[in-house]
Amino acid sequence: MTEEENNSFNLVCPPIIRDKKNITLGHGSGGLLTHELINTTFKKILTNPILDEGNDGALISLPAYKGKLVVSTDAHIVSPLFYPGGDIGRLAISGTVNDVAMMGADPLYLTASFVIEEGFSLELLEKVALSMKSTCEEAGVIIIAGDTKVTEKGKGDGLYISTTGIGWLPEGRDIQGQNALKGDAIILSGTIGDHATAILQARGELGFQSNVTSDVAPLNKMLEELIKQVQDIHVMRDPTRGGLGTTLVEIAKQSNVCIQIEETSLPIKKEVKTVCELLGFDPLYMANEGKVVIILPEEKCNIALEILQKHKYGQNAVRIGSVIDNKQPRVLLRTPLGSNRVIEMLMGEMLPRIC
């Protein structure tokens, strides 16, 4: 017998450690415990006919009308996992649904991949799955495929979730970052900095009690209503990580236009302003998870605002500026004194693990 063959006899399977309360390495083995976890948590909560088939891949049908597939993917490593107004589950669904919706597409399906640290509470995992379920229901999407991996204790931080979204873009819709035109109006759907403030609150970094909750929400239903009534929207983008400032610079560069926004028109909650003053943050770079920037022809601005303001996620929608020329790609912030400040992209990382 060679040494190699001899060694193969020494491979002994460790005994199954059954822990009814916490995730064990066995839950990521692909064996019995993984199946138990999938059946008693993920499949039980997120059940739908496609997910329940249990094959290596999900078979999906796309709408019968002409169009294009829109796909987006995102990893979520937010810390802490639960914070005022949201949690990693709601974030993982909303973030990906919104990225698909920003293209003007109708989000249909999601996949979800979980990286869980050994020792993570099963009760918390169920809480996250339930939050994903309710957010999926709100957005009208289903999770059709998933994966679970377990890292050893100390080699992860509780839970990470990656989601991929699939949506259908009806033929004729063209909403993209490069479509902003000189003369367009710029709308923001509500207050900025709420998500970042809620995360800071949850981390105990504020030093005072704030009532600001995260704005994390799926925006696709509101945007579908808007697109149906206002057909010539040029750009939509969610100002998430990097904030409104970074998002506007991205669009200015993609469209090769100069964007001017009015400082006095920016909707910011008083408490968020206070947080920024105390901690030295600029609200323009504070993360949002339930807001959208919409760029559209000037003459469509008022009707779009009316539609948005009727929706719970767009109540505080306002016009914040205009696309003023197509000579130099940049973003200008006009101050109350009438001077212009050039807005750059966020440099470095202001708040790690925000989403």
Query: Where do contacts with Mg ion occur on this chain (CB under 5 A)?
Result: 99, 238
In what order do the strands lie in the sheet containing 330-334?
235-237, 293-296, 185-188, 318-325, 258-262, 330-334, 340-343
CB of 189 to Mg ion, least distance (A): 13
Are 217 and 191 in contact by the 8 Å Cβ rule? The answer is no
CB nearer Mg ion, residue 215 or residue 238: 238
Dihedral sign for Cα atoms in the order 243, 246, 251, 254: negative
- Report which of 56, 305, 12, 350 is spatially closest to residue 193, judged by C-alpha positions: 350
CB of 98 to Mg ion, least distance (A): 6
Are 166 and 71 in contact by the 8 Å Cβ rule? The answer is yes
CB nearer Mg ion, residue 148 or residue 246: 246
DSSP 155: S
Are 284 and 219 in contact by the 8 Å Cβ rule? The answer is no
CB nearer Mg ion, residue 99 or residue 118: 99
Residues 6+ apart with CB under 8 A from 165: 70, 71, 72, 73, 96, 97, 99, 100, 107, 109, 110, 141
CB nearer Mg ion, residue 184 or residue 250: 250
Specify the DSSP element, H or E, that contains 76: strand 67-76
CB of 48 to Mg ion, least distance (A): 26
152 DSSP β-pair partners: none
CB nearer Mg ion, residue 125 or residue 287: 287
Cα–Cα distance, 119 to 157 (Å, whole number) = 10
CB of 139 to Mg ion, least distance (A): 15
Cα–Cα distance, 21 to 38 (Å, whole number) = 15
Cα–Cα distance, 21 to 189 (Å, whole number) = 42
CB of 17 to Mg ion, least distance (A): 41
CB nearer Mg ion, residue 46 or residue 308: 308
Before 80, cis peptide (omega within 30)?
yes
CB nearer Mg ion, residue 99 or residue 106: 99
CB nearer Mg ion, residue 104 or residue 158: 104
CB of 223 to Mg ion, least distance (A): 13
Which pairing describes strands 106-117 and 185-188: parallel, antiparallel, or unpaired? unpaired
CB of 237 to Mg ion, least distance (A): 6
Three-state DSSP class for residue 184 = coil
CB of 124 to Mg ion, least distance (A): 27
Cα–Cα distance, 234 to 322 (Å, whole number) = 13
CB nearer Mg ion, residue 91 or residue 116: 91
CB of 263 to Mg ion, least distance (A): 24
